[in-house]
Structure 1
Amino acid sequence: MVSVIIAAHNEAAVLGRTLDTLLADAPGAQVIVVANGCSDDTSGVARSRSGVDVIRVSPGSKPLALNTGDIAADSFPRIFLDADISVPKGTVDRLVTALETPGIMAAGPSRKLNVSGRPWPVASHAAIHSRLPAFRQGLFGRGMIAISEEGRARFEEFPNMVADDLFLDSLFAPHEKILVEESRVVVEAPATTKDLVRRLVRVRRGSTAMRRAGRQGLLPIRPRPSDAWSWIRDVVAKDAKLLPAGVVYAALTAYSGILASHGPVDSMDWGRGESARP
């Protein structure tokens, strides 16, 4: 038995697909959908699938939703899955098998960013983002992380911050986590440049809050530091054709950083518009 926790905020348009692929891949899993601050029919979509447990919580707070689902879960391994991720066939079994390797406590799939039909600023940002070493090696940015019972013992609960995948990734040393290359999830890029900026602002605020809390000793981990120059050192310098995309990436990153600095870094806002869901 494996427990899968899905924190969902206004995900009615995509949740059905996610649940259908998950239930087909792992029919015996305990699946918990935590409908968090929803104004749409997320709960109804989840209840329409047999065997799915649905919990409604408010106000909108992803950490609250994750902790609520985690408390309700009764099995290990435990998988934290975003509501808009289609689960490729065999993925759950591969992640569970990976966690049986001695010393491995966390696992995630490989990923592909889908930029089909997106405007050129979004596609340019993705061209750099997908090649950054941090995102090719870390568990974050994939929408799906599995942890063993031993791994879950590393923390009491998700901190009241939105960077949950950075938090989980930072709990484990490189030799304690693994990416399963045989399974690749498709991560949808934002549909508009505006939505991309909203997402970047949210991520920046969450990461800033988490790194600050780590430095202050308020967390059991010290999240990896940001690397402002990786885009040019590790990506553009190795492929000059990516320079135009790199300029766009740098501009969007800088602009989002300015916006993030003028708002509360500990905001629990999910930080996306509905158009981010194609």
Structure 2
Amino acid sequence: MFKNKKSLLFIVQALVPFVVITLLFLLLPSILMMIDSFKNGSGGFTLENYKTSLTNMFYLKAITNSIGISLISSLIGLVIALICAYSISNFSEKVQNSIITILNMTSNYTGVPLAFGYILLLGNTGIFVLLFKHFGLNSLSNFNIYSWVGLIITYVYFQIPLAIMILYPSFLGIEKEWRQSAMLLGANSFKFWTKIGIPVLLPSIVGTLSILFANAMGAYATAYALVGRNYNLLTIRIGSLVVGDIMPQPDLAGALAVILGITTISMMMINEKMSKYIKRG
């Protein structure tokens, strides 16, 4: 009994730093942000910030742009990651470990360094653009990285490693014996994946999509470093309102941040419901 109490005390003490950090750096700022979103310039209570966020076409466009780029980059990244994860699962264990190690490193290559890397490669005087011009590939040399397509390409880049690392264990969970048994019963590779493989992977695929969507919705540094304030994204608008050059509007920024959080959480809840429904089916 004494040993159990001592173990319990050790666990509680070990959790204290985590709880304190969570309260100070996650819950407290979130609560203060939500409180500020209901304030007006004089500190009184108002819903005007939310009314402006949901009726002003400028901010509505920022919301729709962020949702659009998040969905597109998540779907593209998911498709590529499915192919890559399946391919990696067919290598030897040693090669798999090496690839996963590389993926762990590339998944951290985001933000300003990622944007700077793409500018060096595909900017107006980027390496590939100069090569395209040298070889007379004018259609490719006119590519504009500071555009909607450029943003999607950069977003897809940091989505792929994350998606692969999430999906890769799911492919390892598909036993080789299942495929062999299906082949013995007369099923070809297409039937195996449509009847067994994909249904088994579907909950993981849906869950991965929600994580990728949340990852893209919250991206700020990459987009800002690449296009600055020239493209209307929700995170960029929030940043502009917090550190406005003329008149900062932190209350309106708080309302937009709450909308961003609600959108992300709603998407994750929808995907969670879909995953449970798929598992029951």
TM-score for the superposition, normalised by structure 2: 0.22
The structure showing larger relative contact order (alpha-carbon pairs under 8 Å, at least 6 residues apart) is 2
Q: Which has the higher helix share?
A: 2
Q: Which has the higher strand share?
A: 1
TM-score for the superposition, normalised by structure 1: 0.23
Which has the larger Rg? 2
